[in-house]
Copies of this chain bind each other. A is one copy, B any other.
């Protein structure tokens, strides 16, 4: 082997400190029984030589790699970014590194999961609402630590972090109702997803609790993306009796809604109020600033990371499911309905 190795290994440190390499290893990882004076000497040598552990060797030998995998559908979404931020913060605190996987990478789910478990991660965080459960199953079979974020495991066998979607939607609807709105349009998320279902449920419940009957026409289907939000809003605006407020299942579609409203020559919130869900960073950047239901995304990431680390460091811990509360963030995109608006429209 002719690799020019500038690398300082544990053996160099041992020599420098005048101890055996296993002692160095113990100082560096376990801190078990080792005499104080020896430890000091080793640490000094480490310092002097600028030694840095080789993670690959460490994890090969049975230790941990110190890497946590994060699997996300893609990066083109403020939503993911916020979660990642929380994760990153927490990981930094515990000095883990973050390995990012995006789902467009490989073909079959299960093989992918397998790859991750055999790869260099000690555990994995999943933000992949659309994947089937094959995935999760493989992970569980391999007994590999993982935590689900904003996504439920139908079998309730996984550690997970999510937020109270139905309650958040309930409160948002209630807020609109309190403002005096009676015709409130709703744009759904991707209905395959549990979170989308829950948000719709919250909306319906609030309506019923207020003694109103939900109208089919006022509920338009979306998919959590801006474009569908725009189109769903158009359908709503074309109704013979359009809503005075629109509740979009996430902020991204709310942006589409706002755009559609403007395209119809109307103003938010003067003519129509708009409310979103998530509170991604852009929500306070748009004009008018979007009133929305805040999902504590960074917090969710942070807690998921904590859960995972706990699981890695104490295998056999029972799984945990944490549900965080949402909160209504009132900004400028909602106001009381404007009586004469249907006149204005013509």
Give A residues with C-beta under 8 Å from B.
Answer: 1, 3, 6-7, 50, 52-57, 59-60, 62, 65, 67, 74-76, 78, 81, 84-85, 88, 92, 95, 97-102, 104-105, 111, 114-115, 118-120, 142, 255, 258, 262, 281-282, 285-288
Name the contact of A258 in the complex, choosing from B81, B104, B282, B287 (C-beta under 8 A).
B287
Is B62 touching A1 in the complex (CB atoms < 8 A)? Answer: yes
Q: A124 to nearest B CB, angstroms?
A: 12
Contact between chains at A100 and B100 (CB < 8 Å): yes
Q: Is the CB of B120 within 8 A of A120?
A: yes
Closest B residue, CB atoms, query A115: B52
Instruction: List residues of chain B with CB within 8 A of the CB of A98.
Output: 99-101
Q: How far is the CA of A59 from the CA of B119 in the complex (A)?
A: 11
Residue in contact with A60 in the complex, picked from B60, B88, B99, B104, CB distance below 8 Å: B60
| A112: nearest chain-B partner, CB-CB | B52
Given known A85-B75, A255-B285, A286-B285, contact A53–B1 (CB-CB < 8 A): no
Q: Are A118 and B53 in contact (CB under 8 A)?
A: yes
Contact of A54 among B84, B85, B118 (CB under 8 A): B118
A115 to B55 alpha-carbon distance, docked (Å) = 10
Contact of A114 among B50, B75, B92, B285 (CB under 8 A): B50
CB distance from A112 to the nearest CB of B (A): 10
Contacting residue for A75 out of B60, B76, B84, CB 8 A: B84
5 new A-B contacts, CB < 8 A, other than A65-B120, A98-B101, are: A57-B60, A60-B60, A98-B99, A98-B100, A285-B286
Q: Using Cβ atoms and an 8 Å threshold, which residues of chain B touch A74?
A: 85, 88
Residues in B with CB closer than 8 Å to A3 are: 62
Task: Report B-chain residues with C-beta under 8 Å of the C-beta of A102.
Answer: 88, 92
Give Cα distance in the complex from A76 to B82, angstroms. 8
Quick check: B120 and A100 within 8 Å, CB to CB? no
Q: Contact at A56–B120, with CB atoms within 8 Å? A: yes
Most chain B beta carbons < 10 A, residue from A1, A3, A97: A97
Q: Give complex CA distance A83, B105 in Å.
A: 18
Q: Which residues of chain B are near A258, meaning CB under 8 Å?
A: 287
Contacts of A115 on B, CB cut-off 8 Å?
A: 52
Instruction: Give Cα A102 to B91, complex, Å.
Output: 10
Q: Are A92 and B67 in contact, CB atoms less than 8 angstroms apart?
A: no
A65 adjacent to B75 (CB under 8 Å) = no
| CB neighbours of A1 from chain B (8 A) | 62
> Which chain B positions have C-beta within 8 A of A97?
99-101, 119
Q: Which of A62, A120, A258 has the most CB of B within 10 A?
A: A120
For A88, the chain B residues whose CB sits under 8 A away are: 74-75, 100, 102
A90 shortest CB reach to chain B, Å: 12
Q: What are the residues of chain B within 8 A of A92 when measuring CB–CB?
A: 102, 104-105
15 CB-based A-B contacts, threshold 8 Å: A52-B111, A52-B118, A52-B119, A55-B119, A55-B120, A56-B60, A67-B99, A76-B281, A88-B100, A97-B119, A98-B99, A98-B101, A99-B99, A120-B120, A285-B286
A6-B142, A60-B56, A285-B285 given; A75·B81 CB < 8 A: yes
6 closest A-B pairs (Cβ-Cβ)?
Answer: A56-B56, A287-B287, A52-B118, A75-B85, A98-B100, A56-B60
